Structure formats: structure tokens, C-alpha cells
Amino acid sequence: MPDELSNELAQRLRKAEEAAAYVEQLESLASQAPALREQVSLLQRLEEREHHRQDAIERARVALTAANQAQENLADIVASAANLVNQLARTLREVDTFRREATASLSVVDRMDYEDELDHALNEQHEGDDDAVQRDAQSIRMVIAARHGSARVRQMIEELSPGFEVFAGCDLDAVPMRRELTNLIMAQLAAEAEANRPQQPRSATPPPPPQMSEPAIPEEQGAGSSA
């Protein structure tokens, strides 16, 4: 009987010790769980970052390849755009030059009309004392001059080319940058004209008479009025 109890106790002790060792092993393993979880989380984050990194690198490579392909077309596009811009600027210069020529020609017409009116009016002022004649002649010159000059020239231009607009029919707001481009070119042309104005030779065409000042009197008219 004592031997049987001894054997039973020995078996139970062995099982208890095995269980205790197993529990101790589990506790040791369980104590490693937080560190293991952190390591697993770190590895997951590293893998996720590497995935995003490789994906971003691939997208960047595709975008840069597309940019290089698009850039290859820029030389032809810039050349074509420059040619069109130069053509536009050249056409605008032609329009401005022809309009200036028309203005100069009509200034001559206006000057001739002014002189005709002045001759006709002064020829009617041939009687009376000299002082009165001179005063009337001065008034006549100022009145006639007020009807001529730049305003009259602009009126004649409008009569010959009514409703002229530089960009008529262009619809500058139909396409983005169209108005900005034309404004830029117009500003550049205006700057060029301003810079070149002092260097240009003076026109042989006589300027229109001033509107509010006394115009010059031809020699024969002066002699006729004082006779």
C-alpha cells in the first residue's frame, strides 16, 4: 500500500512539475508578446512603406518618360508658335503703317481744305480799316483752324473706313490666352514704336494746322490782306 501511494504521488508530482514547466514556458513566451507585436507592426509598416515607395518611383518613372516624350515636341511647337507670333506682329505693323500712311495723306487733304477755306474767307475781308481787317482775319483763322486738325482727319478716316477695328472678327475671348497674347504683342509693338520714334526721319508731309492756335499765313495771302 505505501508503495502504491508513493508511485501515485510520484506520478502526480511529475505531472505537476511538467505542468509547472509548461506554464513557466508559456509565461516566458507570453512576456515576449508585446515585443513580438511591435516587431510585427514595424515589419508591416516597413513593407507598406516600401510598397508605397516602389509604387511612387514607378509612377514618377512613367511621368518623367511622358514628360520627355512631350518635351521632344516642344522644339517644333515653339518654332511654329514663334512663326505665328512673328506673322501676327508683322501683320499688325502693316496695319499700323498703312493707317499711318492714310492719316498722313488725309492730313494733306485737311491742310488743303483749311487753306482753301482760309483763302476764301480772307478774300471776303478786303474792305475796312487795316486794324479791323487784321482783327477779323485773326478771328477767321482761329475759327477755321478749329474745324481742322486731328479731329477732322479722324473723321475723314472714319468716313473712308467706317467702323474699323484691328481685331474685328478675331473673338479674342474664344480661346484662353488669345487676348493675353494679343495684348502682349500690342504692348511690345507700342514699346518698339516709342523707342524708334526719335530715330525716324521727319515726314515730308506738312502737319495739320493746330486747332486753337493761329496757322501760318502764306506770303501771297499776307500781302493781299495788307494791300
Name which of 65, 62, 188 is nearest 180 in CA terms: 188
**Predicted pLDDT of residue 213:** 37
Q: How far apart are CA 189 and CA 197, in angstroms?
A: 12
- Buried residues in 178-194 as b, exposed as e (16+ CB within 10 A): eeebbeeebeeeeeeee
pTM: 0.59
Q: How far apart are CA 39 and CA 32, in angstroms?
A: 11
138 DSSP assignment: H
How many C-beta atoms lie closer than 10 Å to residue 152's C-beta?
20
Q: How far apart are CA 41 and CA 64, in angstroms?
A: 34
**Predicted pLDDT of residue 214:** 36
**Predicted pLDDT of residue 221:** 38
Q: What is the DSSP string of 97-129?
A: HHHHHHHHHHHHHHHHHHHHHHHHHHHT--SS-
**Predicted pLDDT of residue 1:** 54
Q: What is the CA radius of gyration of the chain?
A: 50
Tens-of-pLDDT digits for all 227 residues of the chain? Answer: 566 667 777 788 788 888 888 888 888 878 888 888 889 999 999 999 999 999 999 999 999 999 999 999 999 999 999 999 999 999 999 999 999 999 999 999 999 999 999 888 888 766 554 555 566 778 888 999 999 999 999 999 999 999 999 999 999 998 888 999 999 999 999 998 888 876 545 544 444 444 433 333 333 333 333 33
**Predicted pLDDT of residue 123:** 81
Cell numbers standing for residue 88? 501676327
**Predicted pLDDT of residue 20:** 83
